[in-house]
Structure 1
């Protein structure tokens, strides 16, 4: 099982939990399992079967876009961070 760090904007869907343990062999399976556990999460971070442009996912600090994107393999005890970009001005 991997540990998923939940960003503040998604905590309303996870009963304000800051992290949750989720199973999955790759990122897309993990997202599906996270959404099964906390409905609505997938809609917030994905669109048309890909990550929304303002969402980054990291596995142990590595951006999945530079590995194998949503097919990136996940191992037990990996730390997954979902990071929505924040615009400022």
Structure 2
């Protein structure tokens, strides 16, 4: 399992200009079965995606995010070995 943590390096106004294409990219990540949960950070300084899959594939996919392509955000990818979850979230224990 991976945590994809993105941090804006440009303003929210700049992020908003690319939000529609970024959200289409997020939707495709769900369609591929890679993304499990996602959302904005509070306060709005970026976002977080919980993902599964192969690291190399996820790294390549992150490189294609419109936020990456347009220099809106930078990603930190952290791999974690989930050992315990509440009932109903077993999908997180890849």
- TM-score using structure 1 length: 0.29
Q: Per chain length, whose mean CA-contact separation is higher, i.e. which structure has more relative contact order (CA < 8 Å, sep 6+)?
A: 2
In terms of Rg, which structure is larger? 2
More helix by share: 2
